[in-house]
Chains A and B, each alone.
Chain A
Amino acid sequence: MSTVSPAAPAVEIVGLRKSFGDLLVLKGIDATVEPGEVVCVIGPSGSGKSTLLRCVNLLEQPDDGKVIVNGVELTDPDVDIDAARRRVGMVFQQFNLFPHLTVLDNLTIAQRKVLRRGKAEADAVAFENLEKVGVADKARVFPAKLSGGQQQRVAIARALSMNPQVMLFDEPTSALDPELVGDVLGVMRKLADEGMTMLVVTHEMQFAREVADKVLFMDGGVVVEEGPAAQVISDPRHERTKTFLRRVLDPTHQDPT
């Protein structure tokens, strides 16, 4: 862990705007994630929350605004984006494990090729992280042999193997069978407890309420409401947040029309 001055946020997003063609997806987002903080982004589909997350490691190129991670401005055109991405782990909805590599090689390839770690060190780091997410016994198999929950935990371990300072999660449980969601959320909760800085786009309100320090509610490309998790989820102030949460937490409830 490199030292970060206590004042500097881990992630700072300033006036972020992004459009796809004519469609303005992010209409000026400001947000910060402090070191060690867990921030959950919630909101209806199409609200721009995944795009926001993908802008944080520049998988999407923002049109305007700044993204600053650990004091490095990623939106600077001359930034070494590959160096910056090494310090930001990303977990995808569809896992995106490398199907032609074993679980172990999935975890070591970037360590070897990017961080130039030796084989012994890379293997040791890989096993330590597989142990942490509870799939160390699957190190030698190919991803296709694993359940969705196991694949996603391997994907988390793969990101952790680069020793990131921030972890981004893009709806990590949305592609999972319901009974496998708990395993992945359990791993994420453990990470949070260990003090990992996390930015999580999720539909798991229970997780957000219990684990997040802060919740952002996004709708229509703007942050509608943000605050402590318990407050935003249990006692939302804005009408749009209330409507969304009512639908998510009580899907069978019919709005009186």
Chain B
Amino acid sequence: MADTTPRAEAVPRARLSPRKRQRISRGIQYAVFAAAVAAVGFGADWASLAEYFADLDVAKEAFPELITVALKNTVIYTLSAYVVGFVLGLVVALMRLSSVAVYRGVALVYIEVFRGLPALVVFLIFGFGLPVAFPGLEFPFEQYGTVAVALGLVAAAYMAETFRAGIQAVPNGQLEAARSLGMPQTRAMVSIIIPQALRVVIPPLTNELILLFKDSSLVFVLGVTSLTTELSKFGGDLAAEHADSTPLVLAGAAYLVITVPLGYVVRRLEAKQRKAR
């Protein structure tokens, strides 16, 4: 009991401060990453990779058709289907919100069916089912028309749900204000509600465009000619011909040239909307 000096408060001294521990943890993560990169770098057979995925001679053969035919057709298929899907999707969304029960029912069945079916099945029905059932049936613009309708029907189901969400995101007070100014329901929808809903759905609809770009590759099941071919089919055919994957790499790059900037646009639009809110 002779110890009269005040005892130091027993602060447990951690051997490492949290800051040091964090630094070590981060160092380990960098080390793991570097090791993985090294493993790939030394382990891969760069010679055969270069030969089968980046063969310049094969690559030369892909041009200019890769751009002038394949990419062009992919863009045409995608945009035409997008237009069909946009218009039809808006109509289905309005039917889904209609006060007429029959329209609501039809819209719901449509959405469930075309959202549930693989796009491939829809293409097969359009490519083989319909021509067999209705021998005289022809879509305008031949192949292009068939693709626009088949892919557009699928896109419309997704877009209808997006439009519906957008319309329902517009506050009810907007409709009340429009109606209290004497606007009939239809006029209020056209002039007040839908313009605001469209702003909300631009980012998700741009995502839908990206998805359609990829789905347009399904056109191959309809059987395409050298004039109506698109990126995937074009790359695949050329790759098979040379037993070399370089054309597929080029076709893939062509998709990314379109979709990566679109993804960037979507992120910008979303950030802008977050700020406006």
Contact = CB atoms under 8 A, between A and B. Distances in A.
Contacts of A97: 177
A100 B199 contact: yes
Which among A89, A98, A109 has the greatest number of chain B C-beta atoms within 10 A? Answer: A98
A96 interface: yes
Contacts of B184: 82
B183 A113 contact: yes
Interface string B170-186: 01011011111111100
**Chain A, interface size: which category?**
20 to 34
A199 interface: no
B181 to A, nearest CB: 4
**Chain B, interface size: which category?**
10 to 19
Which among B173, B176, B181, B187 has the greatest number of chain A C-beta atoms within 10 A? Answer: B181
A57 B181 CA distance: 10
B131 interface: no
Given A59-B180, A96-B173, A109 B196 contact: no
B183 A82 contact: yes
A165 to B, nearest CB: 13
Given A86-B182, A88-B180, A94 B191 contact: no
A110 B173 contact: no
Contacts of B195: 100
A139 interface: no
A92 B173 contact: yes
A212 interface: no
A65 B139 CA distance: 58
B181 A110 contact: yes
Contact of B179 (A59, A155, A162): A59
B173 A57 contact: no
A90 B174 CA distance: 12
Interface in B255-277: 276
A114 B182 contact: yes
Nearest to A114: B182
Contacts of B276: 144
A96 B182 contact: no
Contacts of A158: 181
Given A98-B192, A100-B199, A110 B176 contact: no
Contacts of B176: 59, 90, 92, 96
A85 B179 contact: yes
Given A94-B173, A100-B196, A100-B199, A113 B191 contact: yes
Contacts of A227: none
A85 B196 contact: no
Contact of B180 (A90, A100, A115): A90
Contact of A82 (B173, B174, B177, B182): B182
Contacts of B171: 96
Interface in A106-143: 109-110, 113-115
A201 to B, nearest CB: 15
Contacts of B173: 92, 94, 96
Interface string A68-103: 000000000000001101101110101011111000
A53 to B, nearest CB: 11
Contacts of A94: 173
Interface string B150-180: 0000000000000000000001011011111
B191 A57 contact: no
Contact of B174 (A85, A98, A144): A98
A156 interface: no
A147 B213 CA distance: 44
A159 interface: yes
Contacts of A98: 174, 177-178, 192, 196
A159 B181 contact: yes
A113 B177 contact: no
B199 to A, nearest CB: 7
A92 B177 contact: yes
Contacts of B180: 57, 59, 85, 88-90, 159
Nearest to A98: B192
B177 A85 contact: no
Contact of A109 (B174, B191, B199): B191
Contacts of B179: 59, 82, 85
Given A90-B177, A96-B173, 16 more contacts: A59-B176, A59-B179, A85-B179, A85-B181, A85-B182, A92-B177, A96-B176, A98-B178, A100-B195, A100-B199, A109-B191, A110-B178, A110-B182, A113-B191, A159-B181, A162-B181
15 contacts: A59-B180, A82-B179, A82-B182, A82-B183, A83-B182, A96-B174, A96-B177, A99-B196, A113-B183, A113-B191, A114-B187, A115-B182, A155-B177, A159-B180, A162-B181
Interface of A: 57, 59, 82-83, 85-86, 88-90, 92, 94, 96-100, 109-110, 113-115, 144, 155, 158-159, 162
Q: Which 8 A-B pairs have the closest CB atoms?
A: A86-B182, A110-B181, A96-B177, A90-B180, A96-B173, A85-B182, A114-B182, A82-B182
